[in-house]
Every structure is written in C-alpha cells, then in structure tokens.
Amino acid sequence: MLPKKGNPPTSAKNVKAEVFSSSASFAEMEAIAKRLRRHIITMIGKAGSGHPGGSLSAVEILTALYFKVLRHKPSDPHWSDRDRFILSKGHAAPALYGALAECGYFPVEELLTLRQMDSRLQGHTDRTVTPGVEMSAGALGQGLSFAIGVALAGRLNLKDYGVYVLLGDGECDEGQVWEAAMAAAHFKVDNLVAIVDNNGQQIGGWNRDVMNLEPFNKKWRAFGWHVIEVDGHSIPQLTQAFDQSKKIKRQPTVIIAHTIKGKGVSFMENNPDFHGKAPNAEEVKLALKELE
Ligand SMILES: Cc1ncc(C[n+]2csc(CCOP(=O)(O)OP(=O)(O)O)c2C)c(N)n1
C-alpha cells in the first residue's frame, strides 16, 4: 500500500495545514515533548512490545526538529522542497510516530495501532506505508549512507533542503557508519546534519563495556566533521546547534546529543531492561503518573 498523500490534519493542537513555521516557544515545545513521552508509553504498553528506552531519549531531538527546525508540510508528506528527517535507529519508531501525529501527518488516535497487523505504524519504520517516514529502517548502520544519497540528490537537483539523520550511539559500532562518515566529509556534504542520540547504552548495557566509542567527538573530527556537543534534553541547546549547523559550509555537521536512555520515567532511566521491553499495565500507570 502506498502512503496516502495529503492526509488531512488531525485534531492535535499544534497542527498547521501548510508549511510548519518556527513559531513554537520553548515552553510549548517542552509541553509537546511531554506529550510525546506519554504517547510512547501508551502505545508501547498497548502493543505489549517495543523499545521505550531509546524512544524516550530521542524526544527533545525530535521535538526541536519537527516543531522548530524542519521545513515540512504535514498536509503533503512528499512535498519536494521539504527538509528530510531520517531515523536511522529505526527501533525508536514510536518517538517518530508521536512527533508525526502531533504535527498532523496522521491522527493521534492511530498511535494505538502500533505493531498491529495491517497498521501503518509498524515496530520499525516503513516508508511505503507511513506518511512522513523517509526511510524503512531497523537494520542499524544504514541511515547515514542513505542520508548522504538524499543530500547529494538535493545538490544535483539544485534543491536547498537540509537532511537530518538520527543515529544511536550503539549503532555507531557499525563499520558502515564510519564508511559513510568518510564519504560525507570527502564529498563536502554540507546540507547534511547527523545527530547522535548519545545515551551511553545499547541493547546489551553500557557502550563503554560492549564497545567503547570514546573519544567519540575526536573520532568524528578526525573523519572531517564539524562537531557540536549539547545536552540532548535541552531544546534551546538543540535549536542553537541546528542554527549553527546551517552556517557550516563544505563540511558535514554532527551534533552529539548527550541524553539519558529512558528519560522522563524514573524506573526506565539508564535501565537496559527497558531497551526493548514494553511496560506492563502497572508500569504504564506509574510512568504516566510521572509524566503528568
Ligand atoms: C544490524 C543490526 N544489528 C543488531 C540489531 C539489534 N539491535 C536493535 S537496537 C540495538 C541497540 C542499538 O543501540 P543504540 O544505537 O545505542 O540505540 P538506543 O540505545 O538509542 O536505543 C541492537 C543491537 C539491529 N537492529 N540491527
């Protein structure tokens, strides 16, 4: 099934029918971030499976992008001048679905169909069914390469769109990430921004125990990238970093966003058990109470 073009906006409060403008205040974006966390807990709890930890850590990054940085049109997901957002860590699909629904790509109520048969919202992203999803993902390590292709296509087609790609830090264990990092610098892909959700953990625990990435910033710099480090839960710092990235020419930018896995729910924070486990009914209740 092909994605439906021009889905009508939903009842969500922040929906605008045309190009999103950058008018949301920081306070409004913080409120949106809280709603995204509630969506993540509710939809994964209902589905009975999914990845809460790495979805919750990415919430402010997605909020800043979708409500401040990206030029996009929820009423026309295929608009050719849109900025592209590519979720390379495809298991964080619930966070992306929440942001897309809040923008009006599809109804917020549809979030409750996560992972059901025939739902447009599968456990990992599928660009052929979900309005607003740019890449089918789930096999880690591929999004940066994909994003370079999209960015170079923009350059060839004389388009001025930006390409933003979100990677996990554990995902950066993949060799393909570093081949892509080399290629982006070599081809001076300056319409590309990579964001690393640097929550310090992956599926099997702390990165420092599984595969140490440090000195992470120096690695990116050595590969020819402009590096910015921010608190990945600070929407002001994130938006400032995205602003700065637009001024960097003839070099790709990476934003290393320091985050907490499971952010916002005390018993999920820094708890690898909730990497890929759904909260049970009691845990959903507790989590939603914390997110009031
Ligand atoms: C190629 C590939 N290998 C293994 C997996 C299984 N897997 C899913 S999530 C994950 C950990 C990813 O860690 P990270 O990128 O840090 O994600 P986050 O902690 O932000 O959820 C792994 C190994 C996968 N999806 N793809």
Ligand 1 centroid distance, CA of 271 (Å): 15
> Which atom, in ligand 1's list, is nearest to the CA of 92?
21
> Which atom, in ligand 1's list, is nearest to the CA of 261?
19
Lookup: tokens for 282: 């009691």
Q: So what's the pLDDT on residue 19?
A: 75
Q: So what's the pLDDT on residue 1?
A: 30
Q: Which residues pair with 164 in a beta bridge?
A: 85, 193
Ligand 1 centroid distance, CA of 16 (Å): 34
Could you tell me where the beta strands, DSSP code E, fall in 18-137?
Answer: 84-87
CA dist., res. 84 & res. 265, Å (int): 30
User: Residue 229's CB: how many other CB atoms inside 10 A?
Assistant: 16
Q: Which DSSP state fits 90?
A: G
Ligand 1 centroid distance, CA of 92 (Å): 10
Q: Is 170 in the pocket of ligand 1 (CB under 6 A)?
A: yes
Q: Is 171 in the pocket of ligand 1 (CB under 6 A)?
A: yes
| Pocket residue to mutate for ligand 1, from 88, 91, 196, 198, most atoms within 8 A of Cβ | 91
Give pLDDT tens digits for 145-167: 999 999 999 999 999 999 999 99
Ligand 1 centroid distance, CA of 17 (Å): 35
Q: Is 283 in the pocket of ligand 1 (CB under 6 A)?
A: no
**Angle (nearest 5°) at CA 157 between 131 and 249:** 95
Q: Which residues pair with 194 in a beta bridge?
A: 165, 254
Ligand 1 centroid distance, CA of 202 (Å): 6
> Which atom, in ligand 1's list, is nearest to the CA of 141?
1
C-alpha radius of gyration, the chain, whole number: 18
- Give this prediction's pTM: 0.94
Ligand 1 centroid distance, CA of 90 (Å): 9
User: Residue 218's CB: how many other CB atoms inside 10 A?
Assistant: 10
The residue type of 269 is E
Q: Is 10 in the pocket of ligand 1 (CB under 6 A)?
A: no
Q: Are 210 and 170 in contact (CB under 8 A)?
A: yes
pLDDT, tens digit only, all 292 positions of the chain = 333 333 333 334 444 446 776 689 999 999 999 999 999 999 999 999 999 999 999 999 999 999 999 999 999 999 999 999 999 999 999 999 999 999 999 999 999 999 999 999 999 999 999 999 999 999 999 999 999 999 999 999 999 999 999 999 999 999 999 999 999 999 999 999 999 999 999 999 999 999 999 999 999 999 999 999 999 999 999 999 999 999 999 999 999 999 999 999 999 999 999 999 999 999 999 999 999 9
Residue nearest to atom 7 of ligand 1 (CA): 203
CA dist., res. 124 & res. 51, Å (int): 10
Q: Is 190 in the pocket of ligand 1 (CB under 6 A)?
A: no
Ligand 1 centroid distance, CA of 223 (Å): 23
Q: Is 91 in the pocket of ligand 1 (CB under 6 A)?
A: yes
Ligand 1 centroid distance, CA of 152 (Å): 27
CA dist., res. 101 & res. 94, Å (int): 10
Q: So what's the pLDDT on residue 23?
A: 80
CA dist., res. 95 & res. 232, Å (int): 14
